[in-house]
Amino acid sequence: MFCRNCGTEMQGNVCPNCGYQEPQAQAEDVNASEASAPEAAAPEAASTPEVPVPDAASNADSANATAPNADNANATAPNAAQPAQPNTPPQGQPGFTPPAGQPYAQPYTPPAGQPYAYGQPAPGYAPAADDKKSVGLNVLSFFFPVIGLIIYLTTKKDKPIRAKSMGKCALAGFIVGIVLSIVMFIVSFAVGMRALEDYADPGLVLQDDATPAFTPDTNSQNTSALDWQNMTVVIDDVEISLPCTYSEFTQKTGYVLEDSENLAGQLAEYEYTYLMSAENAAGQEMDIRCFNSGAATVSVQESLVVGVAVDAGWGDPVADIVFPQNVKVGDAYDLNAFREKFGEPESTYTGDSGYATVSWGDDNDVYNGFEIVTSDGQTVEEISLDVYPAE
């Protein structure tokens, strides 16, 4: 049996395609007619009945028997008063009325010319009256993406317009934050590498643009008790005058620079180094400073030694250096005694923990200097002396 509405084969009395349900009585008639149709047609197709040859007597009887009479006419005449069966249109067409007690199982069909509005709000739905973009919330979402995401998730059903705008701002803020983090990392890395290159090596660090060039001042008068024109020190019982050439210094004292990079360094005109570590064969250490007083670029080994320093605070064996007025590391730190030996200091400093420094300068050359340092306020721990060549 097939559906009267869409032509799909019925399953029981119900159409699996459109849901049409055949009334029980009609279904039984249709099933009965479908079942008897093959049986009635089979004998006709299987064999042809024999036709008897009639004789004269039988022809007369047949004529009388077949002649219609009034009763037969009345019996075989169609019943004119019998009402005609209504022509019910198929389901889904105008005028269709489902059988009594049966549901109208027709699937939804949108009106002609209208698209099927998937995902649209149900009829009667009205958005919130304040569902619109908020500048303040958008700015908040941009700078704090996590807060924007939370508000988006909690308001996307009730206020979809506002939630969507905040979600976009939160996403934009998140992306901008990542980009800025990458840029800051790259800049910080570059600055750190530059600083590492400049200050990682405590030895040879050449003069930069911020350091003033060597310009001795010959107009002022020297007021300290130090004789800067004839400055000598005694290193491990060897007397040496400053400044002196690097080759003379190493030959007399036996101290050479430890770092090969410092030895290979180049100094331009009036360029100097920071204090560099030098060591002798016995493992004793001291620091020296080199300077190029000429116009041509020279190597460190061709430069002048203008500064010596010794620091016993590291605990390593240090050189035995006797500075002017027989001052050396390990002496008592006595500021009044230093004033008597070297005159009024150029600067002094005393800290709460006992750390103190006192220094003297040369009025004729701002680069010349002598400094004494203590870490406990009682014992001299570090002494440095710089003497540049006079112009």
The domain boundary residue, chosen from 161, 184, 200: 200
Of 153, 155, 149, 101, the closest CA to residue 132 belongs to 155
- Which one is predicted more confidently, 318 or 61? 318
Q: Buried b vs exposed e over 169-201: b needs ≥16 C-beta within 10 Å? A: bbbebbeeeeeeeeeeeeeeeeeeeeeeeeeee
Q: Looking at the structure, do residues 368 and 249 belong to the same domain, yes or no?
A: yes
Question: Which residues constitute the domain of residue 30?
Answer: 1-36+91-110
In the chain, DSSP assigns E strands to: 231-235, 238-242, 244-245, 256-257, 266-267, 276-279, 285-291, 298-299, 304-311, 321-322, 347-350, 356-362, 365-374, 382-386
Q: Report the alpha-carbon distance of residue 371 to residue 333 in Å, rounded.
A: 12
Q: Looking at the structure, do residues 102 and 243 belong to the same domain, yes or no?
A: no
Q: Looking at the structure, do residues 190 and 335 belong to the same domain, yes or no?
A: no
pLDDT at 51: 46
- Give the model confidence (pLDDT) of 27-45 as tens digits: 555 555 555 544 444 444 4
Q: Looking at the structure, do residues 187 and 236 belong to the same domain, yes or no?
A: no
Q: Report the alpha-carbon distance of residue 162 to residue 181 in Å, rounded.
A: 29
Identify the band that residue 297 occupies on the pLDDT scale cut at 50, 70 and 90. Answer: very high
Q: Report the alpha-carbon distance of residue 251 to residue 301 in Å, rounded.
A: 12
Q: Which two tokens stand for residue 330?
A: 């390990």
Q: Report the alpha-carbon distance of residue 141 to residue 169 in Å, rounded.
A: 6
Which residues, other chains included, contact 380 with Cβ-Cβ below 8 Å and sequence gap of 6+? 327, 328, 329, 330, 331, 332, 333, 372, 373, 374
Q: Report the alpha-carbon distance of residue 254 to residue 321 in Å, rounded.
A: 13
Q: Looking at the structure, do residues 166 and 267 belong to the same domain, yes or no?
A: no
Identify the band that residue 215 occupies on the pLDDT scale cut at 50, 70 and 90. Answer: very low
Q: Does residue 179 sit within a domain?
A: yes
Quote the percentage of the chain above a pLDDT of 90: 41
286: left (phi over 0), alpha (psi -120 to 50) or beta: beta
The domain boundary residue, chosen from 177, 200, 223: 200
* Average pLDDT rounded to a whole number, residues 201-230: 52
Which residues, other chains included, contact 4 with Cβ-Cβ below 8 Å and sequence gap of 6+? 20, 22, 90, 91
Q: Does residue 310 sit within a domain?
A: yes
Q: Looking at the structure, do residues 189 and 304 belong to the same domain, yes or no?
A: no
Q: Looking at the structure, do residues 244 and 362 belong to the same domain, yes or no?
A: yes
Q: Report the alpha-carbon distance of residue 310 to residue 349 in Å, rounded.
A: 20
Q: How many domains does the chain have?
A: 3
CA distances from 379 to 332, 343, 386 (A): 5, 20, 22
Q: Looking at the structure, do residues 143 and 276 belong to the same domain, yes or no?
A: no
Q: Does residue 162 sit within a domain?
A: yes
Please tell me which of 66-80, 219-233, 339-353 the model is most confident about, judged by mean pLDDT: 339-353
Q: Looking at the structure, do residues 279 and 381 belong to the same domain, yes or no?
A: yes
Of 366, 359, 371, 361, the closest CA to residue 391 belongs to 366
Q: Looking at the structure, do residues 163 and 238 belong to the same domain, yes or no?
A: no
Q: Looking at the structure, do residues 139 and 245 belong to the same domain, yes or no?
A: no
Q: Does residue 100 sit within a domain?
A: yes
Q: Looking at the structure, do residues 30 and 166 belong to the same domain, yes or no?
A: no
pLDDT at 15: 82
pLDDT at 356: 94
Q: Does residue 72 sit within a domain?
A: no
Q: Does residue 65 sit within a domain?
A: no
Helix and strand numbers, DSSP H then E, in the chain: 9, 14
Identify the band that residue 3 occupies on the pLDDT scale cut at 50, 70 and 90. Answer: confident
Q: Does residue 124 sit within a domain?
A: no
Q: Report the alpha-carbon distance of residue 97 to residue 87 in Å, rounded.
A: 11
Q: Report the alpha-carbon distance of residue 280 to residue 253 in Å, rounded.
A: 8
CB 333 within 8 A of CB 382: no
Q: Report the alpha-carbon distance of residue 98 to residue 113 in Å, rounded.
A: 27
Q: Does residue 13 sit within a domain?
A: yes
Which residues, other chains included, contact 247 with Cβ-Cβ below 8 Å and sequence gap of 6+? 301
Indicate if the pLDDT at residue 148 is higher than 80.
yes
Indicate if the pLDDT at residue 212 is higher than 60.
no
Q: Which two tokens stand for residue 243?
A: 């400044």
